[in-house]
Chain A
Amino acid sequence: MDTLTVTTAAVTDNQRWVDGFAERPDLQQGPSQLVSFRQNAIDKLAQTSFPTRRDEDWRYSDFTRALNENWSLQKTDAPQVVRTTFEIPDFTGFVLVTIDGEFQPELSDTIPGLVVGNTEELLDDATHGAWIAERLTSFAADDNAFTNLNAAFAKTSLFLTIGKNEKLGKPVHIIHFATRNADKRFVNSQVFVRLPQGAELTVDETFETLGEGAPIFRNHVIRGSVDAQGRLEYRSIQNEGREDYHVSNANFDQAGGGYIDHTRVDLGGAQVRNNLDINHKGAGLETHMAGLFFARGRQRIDNQTFLDHAFPHGESNEIYKGIVMDSAVTSFNGKVMVRPDAQKTNAYQQNDNLVIGTKAEANAKPQLEIFADDVKCSHGATIGQMDEAPLFYLMARGIDRGTALGMLQRGFLLEVLDRINSEAVRAYVEHLLMAKFNEA
Chain B
Amino acid sequence: MLSIKNLHAQVEETPILQGINLDIKPGEVHAIMGPNGSGKSTLASVLAGREEYEVTEGSVNFLGEDLLDLDVEERAQNGLFLAFQYPIEIPGVTNATFLRSSINAIRTANGQDELNGAQALKLIREKMAAVEMDASFLKRSLNEGFSGGEKKRNEMLQMMLLEPKLAILDETDSGLDIDALQVVAKAVNSMRNTDRSFLVVTHYQRLLDHIVPDFVHVLYNGRIVRSGDKSLALELEKRGYDWIKEEVAAQTA
Interface residues of A (CB under 8 A from B): 388-390, 392-401, 403-404, 407-408, 410-415
Pair A407/B93 contact, Cβ less than 8 Å: yes
Is the beta-carbon distance between B72 and A395 smaller than 8 angstroms? yes
* Candidate in A398, A411, A414 with the most chain B CB atoms within 10 angstroms: A398
Contact A395 B73 (CB under 8 A): yes
Mark the stretch among B7-15, B59-67, B81-89, B202-210 that contacts chain A. B81-89
Residues 12-63 (chain B) with a chain A CB within 8 angstroms = 48-52
* A408 B93 Cβ-Cβ under 8 A: yes
Chain A residue nearest to B110 in the complex (CB): A398
- Assess whether A397 is in contact with B91, with CB atoms less than 8 Å apart: no
Check if B102 is an interface residue, CB within 8 A of chain A.
yes
Query: Are A393 and B76 neighbours in the complex by a CB distance under 8 Å?
Result: no
Q: Separation in Å of the A412 CB from the closest CB of chain B?
A: 6
- 25 A-B pairs within 8 Å (CB atoms) are namely A390-B88, A393-B84, A393-B87, A393-B90, A395-B73, A396-B49, A396-B75, A396-B76, A396-B84, A397-B76, A397-B105, A397-B106, A397-B162, A399-B105, A401-B71, A401-B73, A403-B101, A403-B105, A407-B93, A408-B90, A408-B92, A408-B93, A411-B90, A411-B92, A411-B141
CA–CA, A388 and B53, complex, Å: 13
Q: Is B162 a contact partner of A411 (Cβ separation < 8 A)?
A: no
Per CB-CB distance, the 7 closest pairs between chain A and chain B, nearest first, are: A411-B92, A397-B102, A398-B76, A398-B105, A414-B92, A395-B72, A398-B106
B52: chain A residues within 8 A (beta carbon): 388
Pair A407/B106 contact, Cβ less than 8 Å: no
- Chain B nearest CB from A396 CB (Å) reads 5
What are the residues of chain A within 8 A of B73 when measuring CB–CB? 395-396, 398-401, 404
Inside 8 A of A388's CB, which chain B residues have their CB?
51-52
In whole angstroms, what is the CA distance A104 to B52 when docked? 59
Q: How far is the CB of B89 from chain A (nearest CB, A)?
A: 8
Min CB gap B113→A, angstroms: 15
- Taking CB atoms and an 8 Å cut-off, the chain B residues in 77-124 that contact chain A are 77, 82, 84, 87-88, 90-93, 97-98, 101-102, 105-106, 109
B:232-248 near A, CB below 8 Å: none
The listed residue with most A CB atoms (<10 A of its CB), out of B50, B92, B158, is B92
| CB-defined contacts of B158 to chain A, threshold 8 Å | 397
Given the interface pairs A389-B88, A392-B50, the reply to whether A398 lies near B77 with Cβ below 8 Å is yes
A85 and B6 CA atoms in complex are apart in Å by: 61
Residues of A within 8 A of B48 (CB): 392, 396
Q: Are B162 and A398 in contact (CB under 8 A)?
A: yes
A407 in contact with B88 (CB, 8 Å): no
Q: Please judge, given known A-B contacts A400-B105, A407-B98, A407-B101, whether A395 and B92 are in contact too, CB under 8 Å.
A: no
A401 to B72, CA, bound (A): 9
By a CB distance below 8 angstroms, the chain A residues around B51 are: 388, 392
With A392-B50, A392-B72, A407-B93 as given contacts, are A399 and B88 in contact (CB-CB < 8 Å)?
no
Are B102 and A398 in contact, CB atoms less than 8 angstroms apart? yes
> Separation in Å of the A385 CB from the closest CB of chain B?
15
- Tell whether A393 pairs with B88 under 8 Å between CB atoms, given A398-B77, A398-B109: yes
Give every chain A residue within 8 A of B87 (Cβ-Cβ): 393
Report chain B residues within 8 Å CB of A398: 73, 76-77, 102, 105-106, 109, 162
Chain B residues, Cβ within 8 Å of A415: 92
Task: Please give the distance in Å from A365's CB to the nearest CB on chain B.
Answer: 25
A334 to B48, CA, bound (A): 44
Q: Is the CB of A411 within 8 A of B102?
A: no
Q: Which chain B positions have C-beta within 8 A of A392?
A: 48-51, 72, 88
**Contacts A392-B49, A398-B77, A401-B71 supplied; 13 other A-B pairs, CB < 8 Å:** A395-B72, A396-B73, A396-B84, A397-B98, A397-B158, A399-B73, A399-B101, A400-B73, A404-B73, A411-B91, A411-B93, A412-B92, A414-B91
Q: How far is the CA of A410 from the CA of B90 in the complex (A)?
A: 11
